[in-house]
A = this chain, B = another copy of it.
C-alpha cells in the first residue's frame, strides 16, 4: 500500500487560505515523512495568483472530480473546509484522512477515527503554523510567505473581527521567516485581489461562493472585496438579476453576495430569493431593493452565516 498517493485539497471556489493551506499542509506532511500533493478545486483568484507568483509557486493542479482524477483512490486531507457541499465532488471514493480547518463543523462524518484539527482562529494557516512549531518542523521561506499571505487575506490585514491574537502572532513569526514587510506586501496583495474591472456581473456574484444548508434549504453566499464600492454598487440592479440567474440555475432557496469594502470595513449584502423576512430577522434592519448595508461587517463566517442560518431555523 506504500504507493497510495496522498492529496491535500481546499474547498470549491478556492480563496487564498484554501489554496495556500493545501500547499503548506502538503509540505508539512511531506516533511513529516508522508509525501503529499496539494491540489485545488478551481482556478486561483487574482489575489492568490499574486501570492503564488510573489513566492515562486506554480498554480496547483485543478481537480474537479476525485473519481475521474484518481480512479484508483488515494488518501485525502481537507484544509479550510469540512462541509460536504464544499468538498471536491466524488470524494467518497477517497480514503478520508483528516481535516485542518477554522470554520464551523457541518455534516462531516467518517467511519473510523481520523486526524482533525480545528480552532476558532482567523485562518487555517495560523493553525498550520502552530502544527509546524509543535512538531519542531522548520518552515521553508517561500512556504512561510504563502502562509502569511493567507493570514493577511482571511483577516484582511488583521482588520476582520475573526482575527485573533494568535493570528497576529503567527503572522509576525511567518513574516520574519519570509523576510516580508507585512503592511506593504499585504496592501499590494489585497489591491491585486480587489481589482474587479474585468469581471462580468455573473463573475462578481459567483466570487468565493459557498453553499450552506439549514432546515432542509440550501443557499449560496459569495463575497467580493473591493477598495471602493462606487462602481460596483452603481450596477446593483444588474447584480441582483445575476444573483437571480445563479439561484435559478442551482435551485438555491436564496443566493447572497457580500460586497465588502476593505477600507471602511463594511459590507453591502445583496440577495435574491424570497428571504426579506430572513434577512430582516438576521440583521434587524429594513430591507431595500434586495439589499442591506452592514457597517463593521467583513466576516462571512462570523457575521453573516450564523445570523442567516439562525433566522432560517
Contacts and interface: CB of A to CB of B under 8 A. Distances in A.
Contacts of A118: 113-117
Contacts of A274: none
Contacts of A102: 113
Number of this chain's copies in the assembly equals 2
A25 to B, nearest CB: 15
Given A114-B120, A118-B116, A107 B104 contact: no
B120 A117 contact: no
Interface residues of A, number: 28
Contact of A114 (B105, B112, B117): B105
Nearest to A101: B113
Interface string A94-128: 00000001111111111111111111110000000
B115 A110 contact: no
Contacts of A114: 104-105, 118, 120
A134 interface: yes
Interface in A261-313: 301-302, 306, 309-310
A84 to B, nearest CB: 12
Contacts of A119: 113, 115-116
Interface in A174-211: none
A18 B291 CA distance: 49
A116 B113 contact: no
A236 to B, nearest CB: 29
Interface in A131-170: 134
A110 B116 contact: no
Contact of A309 (B101, B111, B309): B111
Contacts of A302: 112
Interface of A: 101-121, 130, 134, 301-302, 306, 309-310
Give 8 closest A-B pairs by Cβ, nearest first: A116-B118, A113-B120, A134-B134, A104-B110, A111-B306, A104-B112, A105-B110, A102-B113
